[in-house]
Structure formats: structure tokens, C-alpha cells
């Protein structure tokens, strides 16, 4: 594997216009990655779903080389209808377009971040891989007191020219004081098997609001990994919603540091899985100062041969008195072959806190099905109604009305009135 | 007052902190094949037992000490320990209690162990372990009447080799993890219980462990077999003398319940936890595992953990038989610099199996307390269910309370429910109690006992009273 990595890396460097400093930085990341390799089940965080095995099984030989010299054609048909939005188009491993047409351009600043090192501590070889191979890493700064009028949608797509390849995306966001950003990650890639590795770093200043919605709905054979690092200042709010349904493999990691008082983090997720899909959400919420709050709700509906895992960790520092932490994961297993794993973890060093977690899993309640059937629905309808109701609970947590309706439409959830 | 009594006076902080001067026979320091042969030889063991030990030792050489646990401890030099020591006067086994070394009897008196009259009054048969060799077993007559075998492990190897051979190492194989394998190689003694078919054991069986001789790791091995339709309740309680060096305790406990049998295993553990600065204290790395082998069998673990510098154990149930039940009730209290990483594993293999976990953790001072549990429902374990509740109580902001549950559900017919909360004693509760005339310590004691009630209820009467007191004592000085 390391030879492949090295030769693909050299090829990329040869065709690129990276400065020497950039190349050196990338080389360091590459060496770190070669040293540790893909994570495997021996690491606690990868216990339930072993990415190194999954890549081996689904892709076998992964290529790291992407020819950036070729131009890509943007397919407009995948764009989201019925919602005015700003766009970032990420196609075949390259950012093709950044478009903030709906906004006041003077309030948003876009800069190249490739030259910079990562500012936080991590033990994650996939971030090294990401930094070694990303083409361009941009930083988007939303200036003080500015709220984006329209949401920003990042389109993640690939076309047929790319196959069995590792694609990396890195973006940094800084939200100035009292600013607001609504960000939708929209996965439209339905072409052949690739391994997509996304790394976002958010810096939320005082009173800012971040809403991030990840929508992976359409069935595709890609393997995806996404890592969000969120640093939160005083009174800031982050909301993350994950719809994990489309890919063969998708692991979402959210690491949230509540550095400022009165900051809060909300993470809601849905797994809706069918044949052979294996998805995971792993969250770490670090309550570091007083009066912070976090809330997590994860629900799974698991069909044949599918597997979901939820690892949630709430850490409360000894300084973080008056913390309020909540975690709930629920799963419905529809088939004999489905599997649900959970590891909801609490690590608490302060005494005046309110922390709780719950986890429940089982099959659909036969009594409820009977109830609905006795009122004239057939078996299939009753089942669907119950599942929809189960999932709707999570979607209702979305605070943005427009986006909530969009997501309901995408999932096909209708409100039964 | 002679010097020894003065010493005892000095150590009054810890009620059980004293040692008796008995010359010990010790195996040479260190761990190697010769030491294992020495242990086996001195205990006059048959060849198959020695082979069992040597097989474990071979395996041990390949194993590494695990390090995933929360409480870290200084590296143990396994070559610097004695693996066998026995009170000298035990060379020739005494026939009755009267023949015992009076010094031994005195020790037990201080500990409050009802060995003679008290044993009869309390209806408890005591198999007291002093260091590594079982000293005396009472109530043998009464038990023999029912065909119950309750003796030391070494005796069982001599007298009931078929049973030992058949069941030893079936629940905890010699190839298990590091500490279990270490135990399999060098275990010295322990208790053996066999309840024949259809017999309900008429009394609570009880063993008091006691660690003596400095630098001697105690490697107990307990095996309890409940044959078809039988019932047994077993109590285990521990105290240990005060020591500056850390002492390792790596026991193995195996329970086997056949069809329709029930085993209830209760532990009150109050080993020396080290002084207020965290110096000294026992390392308690015990492997406890029960196998519900037969249909409709039941194994129930109850534990009250208040002692030890580091407690690291997970009494587990393997629910193999259909309709079998596993239960785990635990109170773990840590104070000062104590560390505990404890919990359970419920592995559901048979159909209609049920398990219940109630865990209460209380941490005070500078201590750290972790609940770590696994609930694994296999794809064949149809219609199984688990209920887990783990609550933690924190006293002060220098301590920590952690919950690390692993939940694996591979069966769509089965339900798993897990709940956990972490909180502190509210000012209102304290105020209410104090208003009614309790001082702050009493108030905390009352509230904590209420918090633990669900678990304390599961203990046999005599134990429950003792445990309730222990809960209060363990938290002394943690308020205010």
C-alpha cells in the first residue's frame, strides 16, 4: 500500500503548482499516514466497523491519484430544487465552483488554507491522509454580525471518469461574532466505488450559529468518512443533522469543544439502512467550561444485512459545573440479519451536572401494528407509518423550517394529518 | 502493652489493619516452571493438574498485560512476587478447630469471623482462607447429609478429581486473558462447591478471604457447580491487613448452573484501599464468570465494592441455556484515591434469555469510578431481553464518574434498554434531612443508602446489615 501511496503522491506533486512549503507539509502528513495506515478494529474508535477491512473488501486496490488537469463538466440536474441557495461544487475531488450569489460579497472572505498546519490535537490517520492528498483547502470566513441570507449547499459528486479512488475534501470555516451559517452537505455521487474523506474544521466565535445538515440519501456504492471539528465560543450554538442512508459505508464523526460559557451543541441523526450497508456515527462532546449544554438523538431503522453503530461520548471537565448533557439512541431492527451496536459513554469529573444517556433497541411493536391494522391499514402501511413516526421525531428537531421541509421531502416523510 | 498491640493502636484508622506473626513457607520468588512444579508438588497434586498449570503458563508467556482500563497502575514485576506461602503450622492438616494455631484463631476473632459458636448461631459454614491454604471448614457434617460438597480447592482435587477435571477451566479457559491465565498457572487454593441434583442448600455458604504475608499475591480459585434443579447462595467477604506495598490479587471464580439450577453469589469487598494519599492498597484484578449451561438456569451476582486501591473486575454471565436468567447488582464506592473499573458482561446465546443489570457508583474525594459493561445478544438468542440501569453519584469536583456501556444487538426479536444518569446529592435533600435533626454525615449516609437500596435488597440478611454499615463508613469524611 505504501508504495502506491508514495508513487501517486509523487505524480500529484509533479502535476501540481504547490509551493515547496506546501509539498513539505503534505509529505509530513503522508509519512504519518504511511506509519499508521488505515484505522482498524484494534483501535477503540473503530471497534464496531473496521474501515481497513471494509476498504479491502469493497474496493481492494485504492488509487490516490486524481488528474486535476482535466476539466469536469458540472451536472446541473443534481441541483436541489425549490430552495434558493449558495453553492460549492465539489466534483471528482476538486472544488469546481464557489458561488455566494445571494450574499453580500464583502461580508464573506475566502482564502487558501493549504499552507497551514492543523491547530488541534488528533489521533486519526484519516485526517493525515486527507491533508496529504487534498487539492486545495479553502477557508471561508463569515464576518462579524453577518447572517447568510440563504443556505450554502456543498454538492459532493463524482462522475464516471473516476473509480476506486480516494477523494479528499477539506474546508475550514470561521464564523465571526454574532454571525450565522446554514450549511447543507448534499451527496449526489452515485457512480462507482470511491472512498471519500471529508474534513471540516469550524471555529465559532461568540454568539454565532452554525447549522450543518448532511444528506446522504441516494443509494450508492461509495465509502465515506466525514470528520467535523467544531470549536465553540461563548453563547454559540451548533446544530448538526445527519441523514445516513445512501452509501455502502458512511462514518460521521463530530468532535465538539464547548470552550465558551453558555455554548450549546445539538446532534441529531438518522440511520435508514438496507442491504449490506454499514454506517456509524461517533460523537465526542467536550464540556470544558461552566453552563454548557449538549443534546443528541440518534435513531436507526435497520433492514436486511445492515449494521449501524453509534458511539457517543460526553466528557465533562472538572471546571464544567452546571453542565447539561443528554444522549439517546434508539434502533428498530427489521430483519434477523440486522445489527445495532452502541457505546454511549459518559466521562464526568464535575459534580454539579445533569448527564444522562439512554439506548433502546428492538423490533417493531406487534401491538402497534395490530392496532393500525384493526383500523384498516394493511401490514406494509402500518409498518411504514410506524417507521415514519419513529424517524419524524428526529427530523422535527431541525430548527430551520425551510430546510426541515426540504429534508422531509427528500426522505419522503409526509405528515399524516 | 507489647509492641504489636501498640502497632495495632496506631493503625486504628483501618479497623482490620494488623498482621499475625506466623512463619511462612514460601516458594522462591519469581515465576517460572519450577515454581509451578513446587506449588503443585507441595499440594500433592496429580499429574493432570500440573499439566493444566503448565499449559496455562505456556500460554501466559505469549500474553501481554492488558492496558485498556481506566485506572493505570505502576508496572508489576511478576518476577518479584512470591507465588506460594502457607502458615507453617499447616504442614500437617489439623483434624478439628481445637488443633488450630491459637494465633490464627485470634486473628479471626479480631476480624469478627464466626468460626466456632458464631458460625453455628448464624447458620453459616465458614471456609476460612488464611493466606493460601484453607484452614478449617465447619458445618461439614450438616452439608454432607445433603450430599453437598463444600471444601477447599486442594481438597477437591484430591477427593473429587472427576468433578474438578470435568468443570475446571470450562468457563474461564486457560487461554483467557492475562490475569486469568496467570491464576490458572499459579492458583494456590480456594473454595469448591458442588450441589447435587435437586438439592436446595439449607444455609448460606460463606468464605472470608484474608491476605497476609507481604508481597504475596493471592491467587484464589473458586469453582461452584449447581447440578440440575439445585440452589445455592454463596457469600464472599474480604478484609486485609494494612500494607505499604501494593498487593496483587488475581482470583478466578467460575460458576456453572445446569438445568433449572440457581446460583446466587454475593460479595462484600473491603480490602485495604491505601491511605488518604493513595499510598499502598490492594490491586483487585479478579475474573468472575458464570455459565448458565442448562435450560431455565439462573445466575445472580451481587457485589458491594468499597475497598482496594484498584478494583478491576467484571462478573459476567454467559446465558447459554434457553430461558436462562443473568442478574448483576452492584454498588461500588470509591473514596480518597481509590480507582474502580467494574461492571458486567451479559452474553445471550440461548433463546428467551433475560438479563438485568443494576449498577450504582458513588465516587468521592479524588477517586475515579468507571462502569464498563457489555450486553451482547447473539443472532440465535431469539426473544431475549436486557435491562440496564447505571447511576452514578458524585461528591465533590475532584472525583470522576464514567459510564462505558457496549451494546450489541444482533437479533431483531430481542430488546435492549439502557439508562444511565449522573448526579449529585441535591441541597434540598440534604436540607430536608438536616432540618429533621440529622447531622450532615448521617444525612448523606441516609441518602446514599436510599440510592443503593435496590442492590442492598438483593443481599442476604446478615450481609445487608454489614454492607449498609460499610457504605456509611466508606464515605466518612467526604462531606463538607
Sign of CA dihedral B452, B453, B457, B458: negative
Report pLDDT digits (tens) over A324-341: 999 999 999 998 889 999
- In chain B, pLDDT over 90 holds for what percent of residues? 28
Query: B108 pLDDT band (50/70/90 cuts)?
Result: low
Q: Which of B236, B183, B182 lies closest to B210, judged by CA?
A: B236
- Three cell numbers, residue B96: 478439628
Backbone angles phi, psi at B282, to 5 degrees: -90, 145
Query: B163 pLDDT band (50/70/90 cuts)?
Result: very high
pLDDT at B241: 47
Indicate the residue of B379, B402, B417 with minimum beta-carbon distance to A336: B379
Q: Which residues of A touch B (CB under 8 A)?
A: 44, 318, 321, 331, 333-363
- B407 in a structural domain: no
Q: Which of B21-30, B149-158, B425-434 has the lowest mean pLDDT?
A: B21-30
Of A362, A363, A383, which to mutate for an interface test with B (greatest number of B Cβ within 10 Å)?
A362
| Residue B119: pLDDT over 50 | no
- Interface contact B419-A344, CB threshold 8 A: no
pLDDT at A91: 85
CB-CB neighbors (< 8 A) of A359 in chain B? 405, 407, 416-418
**Other beta carbons within 10 Å of A220:** 21
Report pLDDT digits (tens) over A75-84: 787 888 888 8
Q: Which of A155-164, A210-219, A261-270, B95-104 has the lowest mean pLDDT?
A: B95-104
With an 8 Å Cβ cutoff, is B430 touching chain A?
A: no
- Interface contact B394-A350, CB threshold 8 A: yes
Q: Report the C-alpha gap between B123 and B139 in whole angstroms.
A: 9
Return the top range by mean pLDDT from A16-25, B101-110, B188-197.
Answer: B188-197
With an 8 Å Cβ cutoff, is B408 touching chain A?
A: yes
- Interface contact B403-A359, CB threshold 8 A: no
**Site of grid cell 473503530:** A46
What mean pLDDT do residues B127-144 have?
A: 56
pLDDT at B124: 45
**Site of grid cell 467494574:** B342
Report pLDDT digits (tens) over A166-202: 889 999 999 999 999 999 999 886 677 889 999 999 9
Backbone angles phi, psi at B33, to 5 degrees: -60, -40
Query: A253 pLDDT band (50/70/90 cuts)?
Result: very high
Q: Which residues of B237-256 are buried (b: 16+ CB within 10 A; e: fewer)?
A: bbbbbbbeebbbbbbbbbbb
pLDDT at A415: 54
CB-CB neighbors (< 8 A) of B400 in chain A? 347-349
Of A349, A363, A383, which to mutate for an interface test with B (greatest number of B Cβ within 10 Å)?
A349
- B148 in a structural domain: yes
List beta partners, residue B87.
B24
- Three cell numbers, residue A240: 448538526
- Interface contact B399-A349, CB threshold 8 A: yes
CA-to-CA dists, residue A365 to A294, A372, B239, B378, angstroms: 30, 11, 50, 20
- Interface contact A336-B400, CB threshold 8 A: no
**What is the distance in angstroms between the Cα of B148 and the nearest Cα belonging to chain A?**
42
pLDDT at B426: 83
pLDDT at A269: 94
- Interface contact B422-A346, CB threshold 8 A: yes
CB-CB neighbors (< 8 A) of A44 in chain B? 68
How many helices (H) and strands (E) chain A has is answered by 7, 19
The separation between CA A390 and the C-alpha centre of its own chain, rounded to angstroms, equals 22
- B341 in a structural domain: no
**What is the distance in angstroms between the Cα of B336 and the nearest Cα belonging to chain A?**
14
pLDDT at A416: 47
Average pLDDT, chain A: 88
| Residue A306: pLDDT over 80 | yes
Backbone angles phi, psi at B15, to 5 degrees: -55, -40
pLDDT at B243: 52
**What is the distance in angstroms between the Cα of A164 and the nearest Cα belonging to chain B?**
31
Q: Report the C-alpha gap between B399 and B337 in whole angstroms.
A: 9
Backbone angles phi, psi at A187, to 5 degrees: -95, 110
What mean pLDDT do residues B130-149 have?
A: 64
CB-CB neighbors (< 8 A) of B401 in chain A? 346, 348
Of A282, A315, A350, A367, which to mutate for an interface test with B (greatest number of B Cβ within 10 Å)?
A350
Taking a C-beta distance cutoff of 8 angstroms, is the pair B273, B240 a contact? Answer: no
Q: Which of B283, B158, B286 lies closest to B221, judged by CA?
A: B286
Q: What is the largest CA-CA distance in chain A?
A: 72
- Interface contact B407-A354, CB threshold 8 A: no
| Residue B234: pLDDT over 70 | yes
How big is the CA angle at B94 (ends B88 and B84), to the nearest 5 degrees?
Answer: 35
Indicate the residue of B397, B416, B417 with minimum beta-carbon distance to A351: B397
Q: Which of A172-186, A221-235, B122-136, B450-464 has the lowest mean pLDDT?
A: B122-136
CB-CB neighbors (< 8 A) of A363 in chain B? 412-415
Report pLDDT digits (tens) over A357-374: 888 888 888 899 999 999
Number of domains composing chain B: 1
B131 or B450: which carries more pLDDT confidence? Answer: B450
Report pLDDT digits (tens) over B330-354: 999 888 888 899 999 999 999 999 9
A116 or B348: which carries more pLDDT confidence? Answer: B348
pLDDT at A307: 92
With an 8 Å Cβ cutoff, is B246 touching chain A?
A: no
pLDDT at A77: 79
B216 or B101: which carries more pLDDT confidence? Answer: B101
Query: A210 pLDDT band (50/70/90 cuts)?
Result: very high
- Three cell numbers, residue A318: 472538572
Indicate the residue of B404, B405, B422 with minimum beta-carbon distance to A355: B422
| Residue B27: pLDDT over 80 | no
Residues 6 or more apart from B454 whose CB is under 8 A from it? B329, B358, B360
The separation between CA B381 and the C-alpha centre of its own chain, rounded to angstroms, equals 29
DSSP collapsed to 3 states, chain A: CHHHHHHHHHHHHHHCCCCHHHHHHHHHHHHHHHHHCCCCCCCHHHCCCCHHHHHHHHCCCCECCCCCCCCCCCCHHHCCCCCCCEEEEEECCEEEEEECCCCCHHHEEEEECCCCCCCCCCCCHHHHHHHHHCCCCEEEEECCCCECCCCEEEEEECCCCCCCEEEEEEEEEEECCCCEEEEEEEECCCCCCCEEEEEEEEEECCCCEEEEEEEECCCCCCEEEEEEEEEECCCCEEEEEEEECCCCEEEEEEEEEECCCCCEEEEEEEEEECCCCEEEEEEEEEECCCCCEEEEEEEEEECCCCEEEEEEEEEECCCCCCCEEEEEEEEEECCCCCEEEEEEEEEECCCCCEEEEEEEEECCCHHHHHHHHHCCCCHHHHHHHHHHHHHHHHHCCCCCHHHHHHHHHHHCCCCCC
- Interface contact A342-B397, CB threshold 8 A: no
Query: A60 pLDDT band (50/70/90 cuts)?
Result: confident
Model ipTM value: 0.84
- Interface contact B405-A360, CB threshold 8 A: no
What mean pLDDT do residues B40-65 have?
A: 88
Report pLDDT digits (tens) over A85-104: 999 988 888 888 888 988 88
Beta strands B125-130 and B133-137, pairing class? antiparallel
pLDDT at A43: 86
Indicate the residue of B394, B407, B424 with minimum beta-carbon distance to A359: B407
Report pLDDT digits (tens) over B349-408: 999 999 999 999 998 888 889 999 999 999 889 899 999 998 998 888 888 899 999 999
- In chain A, pLDDT over 90 holds for what percent of residues? 46
- Interface contact A351-B403, CB threshold 8 A: no
B69 or A68: which carries more pLDDT confidence? Answer: B69
Domain boundaries, chain A: 2-260, 365-417
pLDDT at A212: 95
> Which pTM value belongs to this model?
0.84
Q: Report the C-alpha gap between B135 and B55 in whole angstroms.
A: 29
Q: Which of B219, B209, B239, B132 lies closest to B179, judged by CA?
A: B219
pLDDT at A417: 40
Domain containing residue B304: 16-313
Amino acid at each position: 500500500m505504501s508504495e502506491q501511496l508514495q508513487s501517486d503522491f509523487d505524480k500529484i506533486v509533479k502535476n501540481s503548482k504547490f509551493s515547496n512549503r506546501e509539498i513539505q507539509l503534505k509529505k509530513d502528513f503522508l509519512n504519518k499516514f504511511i506509519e499508521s495506515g488505515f484505522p482498524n478494529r484494534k483501535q477503540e474508535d473503530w471497534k464496531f466497523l473496521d474501515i481497513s477491512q471494509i476498504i479491502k473488501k469493497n474496493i481492494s486496490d485504492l488509487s490516490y491519484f486524481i488528474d486535476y488537469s482535466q476539466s469536469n463538466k458540472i451536472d446541473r440536474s443534481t441541483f436541489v430544487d425549490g430552495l434558493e441557495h449558495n453553492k460549492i461544487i465539489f466534483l471528482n475531488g476538486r472544488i469546481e465552483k464557489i458561488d455566494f450569489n445571494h450574499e453580500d460579497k464583502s461580508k464573506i472572505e475566502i482564502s487558501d488554507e493549504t499552507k497551514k498546519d492543523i491547530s488541534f490535537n488528533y489521533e486519526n490517520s484519516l485526517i493525515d491522509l486527507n491533508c496529504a492528498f487534498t487539492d486545495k483547502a479553502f477557508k471561508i470566513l463569515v464576518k462579524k454580525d453577518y447572517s447568510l441570507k440563504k443556505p450554502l449547499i456543498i454538492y459532493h459528486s463524482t462522475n464516471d471518469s473516476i473509480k476506486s479512488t480516494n477523494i479528499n475534501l477539506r474546508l475550514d470555516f470561521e464564523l465571526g461574532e454574532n454571525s450565522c451559517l446554514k450549511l447543507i452537505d448534499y451527496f449526489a455521487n452515485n457512480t462507482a466505488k470511491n472512498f471519500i474523506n471529508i474534513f471540516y474544521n469550524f471555529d465559532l466565535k461568540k454568539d454565532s450559529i452554525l447549522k450543518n445538515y448532511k444528506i446522504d440519501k441516494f443509494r450508492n456504492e461509495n465509502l465515506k468518512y466525514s470528520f467535523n471539528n467544531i470549536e465553540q465560543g461563548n453563547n454559540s450554538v451548533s446544530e448538526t443533522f445527519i441523514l445516513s442512508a445512501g452509501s455502502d459505508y458512511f462514518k460521521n464523526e463530530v468532535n465538539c469543544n464547548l470552550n465558551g460559557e453558555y455554548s450549546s451543541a445539538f446532534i441529531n441523526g438518522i440511520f435508514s439502512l438496507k442491504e449490506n450497508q454499514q454506517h456509524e456515527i461517533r460523537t465526542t462532546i467536550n464540556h470544558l467550561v461552566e453552563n454548557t449544554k449538549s443534546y443528541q438523538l440518534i435513531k436507526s431503522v435497520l433492514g436486511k444485512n445492515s449494521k449501524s453503530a453509534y458511539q457517543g461520548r460526553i466528557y465533562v471537565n472538572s471546571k464544567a459545573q452546571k453542565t447539561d448533557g443528554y444522549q439517546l439512541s434508539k434502533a428498530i431492527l427489521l430483519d434477523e440479519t440486522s445489527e445495532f451496536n452502541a457505546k454511549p459513554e459518559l466521562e464526568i469529573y464535575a459534580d454539579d451536572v445533569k448527564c444522562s444517556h439512554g439506548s433502546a433497541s428492538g423490533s417493531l411493536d406487534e401491538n402497534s401494528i395490530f392496532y393500525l391494522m384493526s383500523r384498516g391499514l394493511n401490514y406494509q402501511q402500518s409498518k411504514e407509518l410506524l417507521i415514519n413516526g419513529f424517524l419524524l421525531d428526529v427530523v422535527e428537531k431541525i430548527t430551520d423550517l425551510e430546510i426541515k421541509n426540504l429534508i422531509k421531502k427528500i426522505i419522503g416523510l409526509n405528515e399524516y394529518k | 502493652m507489647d509492641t504489636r498491640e501498640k502497632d495495632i493502636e496506631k493503625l486504628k484508622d483501618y479497623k482490620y489493619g494488623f498482621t499475625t506473626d506466623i512463619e511462612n513457607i514460601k516458594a522462591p520468588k519469581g515465576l517460572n516452571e519450577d515454581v509451578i512444579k513446587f506449588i503443585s508438588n507441595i499440594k500433592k497434586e496429580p499429574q493432570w493438574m500440573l499439566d493444566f498449570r503448565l499449559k496455562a503458563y505456556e500460554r501466559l508467556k505469549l500474553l501481554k498485560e492488558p492496558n485498556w482500563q481506566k485506572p493505570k497502575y505502576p508496572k508489576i514485576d511478576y518476577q518479584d512476587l512470591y507465588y506460594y506461602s502457607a502458615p507453617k503450622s499447616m504442614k500437617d492438616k489439623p483434624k478439628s478447630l481445637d488443633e488450630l494455631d491459637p494465633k490464627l484463631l485470634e486473628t479471626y476473632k479480631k476480624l469478627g469471623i464466626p468460626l466456632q459458636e458464631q458460625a453455628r448461631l448464624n447458620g453459616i459454614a465458614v471456609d476460612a482462607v488464611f493466606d493460601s491454604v484453607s484452614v478449617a471448614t465447619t458445618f461439614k457434617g450438616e452439608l454432607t447429609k445433603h450430599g453437598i460438597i463444600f471444601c477447599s480447592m486442594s481438597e477437591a482435587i484430591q477427593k473429587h478429581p472427576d468433578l474438578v477435571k470435568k468443570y475446571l477451566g470450562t468457563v474461564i479457559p486457560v487461554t483467557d486473558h492475562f490475569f486469568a491465565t496467570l491464576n490458572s498457572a499459579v492458583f494456590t487454593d480456594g473454595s469448591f462447591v458442588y450441589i447435587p441434583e435437586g438439592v436446595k442448600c439449607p444455609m448460606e455458604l460463606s468464605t472470608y478471604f484474608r491476605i497476609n504475608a507481604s508481597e504475596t499475591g493471592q491467587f484464589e480459585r473458586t469453582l461452584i457447580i449447581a447440578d440440575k434443579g439445585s440452589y445455592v447462595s454463596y457469600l464472599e467477604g474480604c478484609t486485609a491487613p494494612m500494607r505499604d506495598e501494593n498487593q496483587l490479587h488475581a482470583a478466578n471464580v467460575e460458576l456453572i448452573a445446569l438445568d433449572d439450577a440457581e446460583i446466587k453469589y454475593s460479595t462484600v469487598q473491603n480490602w485495604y484501599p491505601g491511605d488518604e494519599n493513595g499510598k499502598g492498597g490492594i490491586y483487585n484484578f479478579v475474573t468472575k464468570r458464570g455459565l448458565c449451561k442448562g435450560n431455565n438456569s439462573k445466575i445472580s451476582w451481587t457485589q458491594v465494592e468499597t475497598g482496594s486501591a484498584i478494583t478491576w473486575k467484571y462478573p459476567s454471565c454467559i446465558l447459554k441455556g434457553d430461558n436462562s436468567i443473568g442478574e448483576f447488582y452492584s454498588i461500588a464506592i470509591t473514596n480518597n484515591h481509590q480507582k474502580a473499573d467494574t461492571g458486567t458482561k451479559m452474553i445471550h446465546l440461548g433463546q428467551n434469555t433475560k438479563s438485568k443489570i443494576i449498577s450504582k457508583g458513588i465516587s468521592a474525594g479524588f477517586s475515579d469510578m468507571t462502569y464498563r459493561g457489555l450486553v451482547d445478544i447473539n443472532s440465535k438468542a431469539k426473544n431475549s431481553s436486557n435491562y440496564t440501569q447505571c447511576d452514578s453519584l458524585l461528591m465533590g469536583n475532584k472525583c470522576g464518574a464514567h459510564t462505558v456501556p457496549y451494546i450489541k444487538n444482533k437479533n431483531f426479536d430481542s430488546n435492549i434498554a439502557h439508562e444511565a444518569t449522573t448526579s449529585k446529592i441535591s441541597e434540598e435533600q440534604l436540607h430536608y434531612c438536616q432540618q429533621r435533626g440529622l447531622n450532615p454525615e448521617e444525612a448523606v449516609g441516609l441518602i446514599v443508602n436510599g440510592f443503593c437500596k435496590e442492590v442492598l435488597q438483593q443481599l442476604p440478611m446478615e450481609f445487608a446489615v454489614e454492607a449498609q454499615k460499610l457504605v456509611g463508613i466508606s464515605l466518612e469524611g467526604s462531606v463538607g
